[in-house]
Structure 1
Amino acid sequence: MLRSAILLPALCATTLHAAAQQLPADTVKGLIRDLSRELALKHPGFYRYHTPAYFARYTDSLTATVTGPLSELETFRKLKPFIAQIGCLHTELQLSDATRAAMAQRPVLFPMQLYFKGRKAYVLRNLSGNKAIVPGSEVLSINGRSIPQILDVLLPSIAADGFNQTLKYRSLFYFFPLQYCRMVEVTEQYTVQISHQGKASTHKIKGALTKDIATPGFMMPPDFSKPLELSIHQATAVLSIHTFADSDLKEYDQDFKLFMVSAFADLKDKGVQHLIIDLRNNTGGSDGNAVFLAGYFFDKPYRYWNRIEVTETIARQITGEAEQYYNKPVQEGNRWLWQKAKVVNDFDYYEEQQPALSPFRGKVYVLTNGFTMSSSADLAAVLKYNKKAVFIGEETGGGFQGNNSGMMPESEMRPSGLVVTIPLQKYYTAVDSTLYAGKGTVPDYPVTYSPQELINGKDKEMAVAENLIRKPSK
């Protein structure tokens, strides 16, 4: 999605700032009220899943919990669940650069990759150096806190579209060490209670630096040869799309549209009848690329988005320099409709879209998980609604009915040092508004894993797709 640094002033006028300072209770309460007011005025999806009355009660309740001075980190822990309540994966809250840098210099990360299944956690990778902790073991508690108690803190702090849970659990899978120290405690020593083959044991382990535990796909970006990959075997092809972001593609010297033109020409020349599209861990990118791909699965004009909305506050800010780039939003009743821009084409796709000149005629299978987000989730929703593919895996982390994104300016919440990102456009995908309310695209064939299957490196989603191709359902 397009990012922009315009249209959002700092939340507070005061210029005081020191990462380590204690903020008086009244200052923290003011930050909560200021943030709530800014979100109501500028976030078009603030009330997408909850009513104004709900957020008024939530704000009052949260403010009442502030009874004394708080540090930046303590303030962050108050506000992070508030941000997540919006149900918008693009609304972010970050610690200041100074605080993050200070934490990164200390060995405070929990040195294991955990797999959370329901209310339980299992060791997938043990990076602590303690060989007595065997992968596959269940983690019962960390520093005296049970796993359910930890989940009760972490899950409400992770932002996802609507009421989605698959994104939250996948986020824990990849980033639990970071989330634990930011939301629960900062410590260099861990006491872990483990259960293996029915026997409980307790172990003391040391915290780690990021460089000590990060591996591709855990605490760092995944490792793949190219962002776009196509393999063809007889009448079946696998198209792996790891990103829709042009910036990522450029690093690998790939052009999305050129790659797809070539790929679909190959599919036609080689008589491919079954196409597996892998969108797992595709967190989004350019809407234009996602729309371009969608066109290959339609043989007549179709709709991708229904409309894009902004708040009245943002609509009225399209003046002066901003008006040189963007057209003025149009008021329709009590909503403001965002229009195509004058300079960029990022907002063009609420109009009727044309199919590709040579659409794919075979059967399509799409693999998704909780990290199928943003433009990737929009594509999944459009294909699902129009019955253009069979979906396998997990519910997408991005919403079926749309998201809030577009221009996403950052603003420093002075004097705390915290930085909030507020998306300014509210997108509605061209789907039935009564389907999957508050959810992502739900798979036709849900896939779950046992800890041992993950340890063994099984790819169950791909196996399901291959089995459907071999034994098509009646």
Structure 2
Amino acid sequence: MNLTTAFSFRLIISAAFMAVLLSSCKMKKPLPSEHILSAAQVEADLKLFKNIIEAAHPSFDLYSNPEKFGLLADSLFPGAESITVREFHNRLSFMLNRLGCAHTGIYMSTAAYDSLQSKDYFFPYPVSWLDEKLLVNVKGYLIPEGAEIKTINGRPVAEIMAALATFECVEGKDRPIQQELSAANFGLEYFYQYGDEKAFSVVYVDTTGVRKQDLVSPVNLTELQRMEKEELYYYDRTEIPYDLSFYEDAGLAVMKVSSFAFNDGQQQDGFDHFCMNSFELLRAKPWINTLVIDLRQNKGGTLDEACLLFSYLAKEPFKEVKESYTRFRQIPFSEYLSE
């Protein structure tokens, strides 16, 4: 093989390699969350979304109306544009947040969520929201447990938490619990809001009051969820959803109820007996003059169970429901319901 032939052969191999490389790049599909929706898809899906909410949401008129909802949609979708599934999800979340209903939410598809499990996109520490502070809630890593995070990649925590709060639909207008819920889902919601960030520059104040800055790498969602399950520094256990403790010297009793949702009759009976026994015990201890009912970990449940507890506190009879009504006799858009 002469030099000309050898050079030509190498050139052919190099060209073939580049062709394969370029072909593989073209074949690489984006994550489902980063899939681009055409302007026509966005317009059609937004119209369907608005129609379903306006026709089927039971308390749509409480905090909104078709005019307000339409103006909100116009401000978030000012013109025909192509956007990612993630951005579409974020804007719809913002709209739903204005309804003031904890029973209405929007979620990424299972395929989109599952595709994130192995991707190193997520803030690497579980956090908690306490006294308007975002605190690191895991021990043994570069940023110590209890450190107060001030900024992430230059964004002030107050700005971040205000943005993430729109992912948490809760009841009413005064909704400080949104930040607490966003802290519990911080890694995922931060990704939804800001996308894939290659590293996190974190300014924080440690528990001795020293201000520091460190650069930490993202982790995948599977690892973050493992940390949240196995390595939390502070975790208020809720496996048993109710408990009563006495602090005799202080004349204090603390009743902790972490849920009003019980899956079967046996659990409901258990809560009924817990309430009955607890208040009988309180009556037998007249020196206990203060009762604290701790609902901080309570994520809700049925009205019956909440009213059962309240019945032991009420000074006079009360009605669980003053009045009720229905907005429709047949479920609209039933073709979109899953089994």
Larger RCO (CA within 8 A; separation ≥ 6) = 1
Structure 1 residues 91-114: Cα deviation after superposition (integer angstroms, max 9, x where no partner): 110111111111123233212244
What does residue 56 of structure 1 align with? 70
> Which one of the candidate residues 9, 12, 33 is aligned to 2:47?
33
1:256-301, Cα deviation, whole Å (9 max, x unpaired): 1122222222223344543322222211212222222222223542
Cross-structure match for 1:343:
none
The answer to which structure has the higher helix fraction is 2
Task: Output the CA distance in 1 between the equivalents of 2:215 and 2:312.
Answer: 54
Counterpart Cα distance in 1 of 2:321 and 2:171: 17
AA in 1 matched with 2:217? I
Kindly tell me: are residues 195 and 229 of structure 1, through their superposed partners in 2, closer, same or farther at Cα, counting changes over 3 Å?
A: closer
Query: Partner letter of residue 297 of structure 1?
Result: L
Task: Spell out the pairing of 1:67-466 with structure 2 (5 A cutoff).
Answer: 67-68=81-82, 70-115=83-128, 122-126=134-138, 129-130=141-142, 133-187=143-197, 189-194=199-204, 197=209, 199-208=211-220, 209-215=223-229, 222-224=236-238, 226-234=240-248, 236-247=252-263, 255-271=270-286, 272-311=288-327, 314=328, 316-317=329-330
Whole-angstrom CA distance in 1 between matches of 2:271 and 2:128? 33
Offset at 1:138? 4.5
Decide whether the 8 Å contact of 1:127 with 1:213 is kept in 2.
no
* Structure 2 CA distance for aligned equivalents of residues 217 and 48 of structure 1: 42
Aligned equivalents of 2:323, 2:214: Cα separation in 1: 55
Q: CA deviation at 1:140?
A: 4.0
The alpha-carbon deviation at position 122 of structure 1 amounts to 4.2
Larger radius of gyration: 2
Letter in 1 for 2:55: L
Residues 342-364 of structure 1: CA deviation (Å, up to 9, x unaligned): xxxxxxxxxxxxxxxxxxxxxxx
Distance verdict in 2 for CA 1:264–1:410, change over 3 Å? farther
In structure 1, the residue corresponding to 2:325 is in which secondary structure? strand
C-alpha deviations, 1:55-88, integer Å up to 9, x for none? 12112222225512x3322321221111111121
1:237 Cα deviation after fit:
2.8
1:180 deviates by 0.5
In the superposition, the TM-score normalised over structure 1's length comes to 0.55
Structure 1 segments unaligned to the other structure (5+ residues): 1-17, 319-408, 413-418, 420-474
Do 1:153 and 1:184's aligned partners in 2 also have CA atoms closer than 8 Å? Answer: no
Structure 1 residues 19, 250: closer, same or farther in 2, change over 3 A?
Answer: farther
Q: Distance in 2 between matches of 1:219 and 1:182?
A: 25
Aligned in 2, Cα 1:166/1:217: closer, same or farther, shift over 3 Å? Answer: farther
Write the deviation string for residues 180-233 of structure 1: whole angstroms up to 9, x where unpaired: 112221345323344565655342333242344214796999524621212345
Q: Cα gap change, 1:198/1:270 in structure 2, threshold over 3 Å: closer, same or farther? A: closer
Q: CA RMSD in A?
A: 3.5
Aligned AA (2:259): T
Q: 1:222 to 1:109 in 2, by over 3 A?
A: farther
Cα distance change of structure 1 residues 48 and 146 upon mapping to structure 2, 3 Å threshold = same
| Cα distance in 2 between the residues matched to 1:167 and 1:123 | 16
In structure 2, give the amino acid aligned to 1:227: P
Aligned counterparts of 1:49 and 1:82: Cα–Cα separation in 2: 12
Q: Work out the CA distance in 1 between the residues paired with 2:274 and 2:97.
A: 37
**Does structure 2 retain, via aligned residues, the 8 Å contact 1:87–1:161?**
yes
CA displacement 1:94-150 (0-9 Å, x = unmatched):
1111111111232332122445579x75443356832xx344544343234443443
**Contact 1:141–1:147 (CA<8 Å) still a contact in 2?**
yes
